[in-house]
């Protein structure tokens, strides 16, 4: 049956293997991600049969001593189109980490560089942000297209064989490219060219965004400097003009503010501890990678505070049988479109669910107190 389906749709798959077809497929995949929807989950089902069949055909052709000419393959998508994740962001995260002048961008780069090397680029997409950031629209959509076109040129005109070997999608892009292409000498040349092209495409937009963030940070610094100068002037005023009463009033107001805030913080932590003991939280994303960021952050924060909270991370679609075992299900940003369906599933078993926004998810993953307070708040609703 599967073979019959492939034969029926073979003309479509052949058309998709052309320059225009490849551009439409992988341009759409990046475009969906840019607006916050998991692009591969939308586009890949339409081409999944071709991706696998073409890999098989390439290997068979290579073993028969023929040219493995198929471009639209699973390996090409994992390691050429999505080198460092959708949008081909591998070179970009290194720019953030080592070339950015902005402190915020360097911090994002350091936090995201390891996940991005293993094709989990959500930390970069949502923290930079890349998603819905007009500065990065052009390279994010067109770098993957340029990459797949370079691969096709090497296959069509230079005689390089296409991808023949199946590897996990989390293999770092450069390694997956070389191994998936069978260590062909041309593969090393193509890889170097792709990295250079991606760098050229991203660099002007990266530099523009870096300048923008530096300007924002400079304004913040000036505001802080002005505040410190004003505070210093006030102190000098008090010392030389004897306005102790004003100082006392200010100090009293500050003390009252601390008194007012302190019980709230303590109450929040106490409430969170009492509410979360014995609870179980499931975090879902598309592949089970991004969800681990928040699940691990919650587990670590709970352990440090002596809270008996159990967490787990899983891919959406594998969760249905697990739902009865959890009190709260949290959707990562790229899976947020499934919230309505998840709510129906949760209503049947009597637990709760919530979807996170991009920056919110990154912040929760990096701040244990906020992540625990967030879960406590959701459970109390």
Annotated catalytic residues are 285
CA 346 – CA 121 distance, rounded (Å): 29
CA 72 – CA 78 distance, rounded (Å): 11
Both tokens of 291, joined, read 């969800």
Region of 88 please: left (phi>0), alpha (psi -120 to 50) or beta: left
Q: Is the preceding peptide bond at 129 cis, omega within 30 degrees of 0? A: yes
The closest alpha carbon to 371, from 356, 381, 353, belongs to 356
CA 366 – CA 53 distance, rounded (Å): 41
């Amino acid at each position: 049956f599967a073979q019959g389906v492939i034969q029926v749709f073979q003309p479509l798959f052949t058309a998709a293997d052309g320059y225009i077809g490849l551009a439409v497929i992988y341009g759409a995949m990046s475009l969906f991600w840019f607006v916050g929807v998991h692009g591969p989950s939308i586009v890949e089902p339409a081409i999944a049969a071709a991706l696998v069949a073409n890999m098989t055909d390439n290997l068979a052709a290579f073993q028969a001593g023929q040219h493995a000419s198929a471009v639209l393959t699973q390996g090409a998508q994992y390691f050429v189109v999505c080198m460092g994740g959708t949008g081909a962001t591998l070179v970009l995260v290194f720019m953030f980490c080592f070339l950015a002048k902005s402190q915020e961008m360097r911090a994002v780069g350091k936090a995201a560089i390891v996940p991005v090397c293993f094709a989990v680029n959500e930390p970069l997409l949502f923290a930079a942000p890349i998603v819905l950031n007009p500065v990065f629209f052009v390279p994010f959509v067109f770098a993957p297209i340029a990459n797949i076109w370079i691969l096709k040129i090497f296959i069509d005109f230079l005689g390089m064989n296409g991808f023949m070997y199946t590897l996990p999608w989390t293999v770092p892009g450069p390694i997956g490219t070389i191994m998936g292409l069978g260590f062909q000498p041309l593969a090393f040349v193509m890889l170097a060219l792709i990295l250079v092209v991606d760098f050229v495409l991203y660099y002007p937009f990266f530099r523009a965004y870096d300048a923008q963030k530096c300007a924002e940070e400079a304004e913040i610094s000036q505001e802080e400097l002005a505040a410190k100068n004003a505070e210093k002037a006030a102190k000098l005023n008090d010392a030389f003009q004897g306005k102790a009463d004003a100082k006392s009033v200010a100090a009293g107001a500050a003390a009252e503010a601390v008194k007012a805030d302190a019980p709230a913080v303590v109450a929040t932590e106490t409430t969170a501890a009492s509410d979360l003991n014995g609870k179980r939280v499931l975090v879902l994303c598309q592949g089970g990678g991004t969800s681990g960021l928040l699940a691990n952050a919650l587990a670590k924060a709970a352990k440090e505070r002596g809270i008996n909270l159990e967490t787990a991370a899983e891919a959406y679609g594998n969760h249905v049988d697990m739902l009865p075992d959890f009190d709260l299900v949290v959707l990562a940003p790229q899976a947020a479109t499934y919230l309505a369906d998840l709510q129906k599933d949760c209503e049947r078993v009597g637990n709760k669910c919530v979807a996170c926004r991009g920056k919110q998810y990154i912040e929760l993953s990096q701040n244990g107190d906020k992540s625990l307070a967030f879960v406590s708040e959701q459970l109390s609703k």
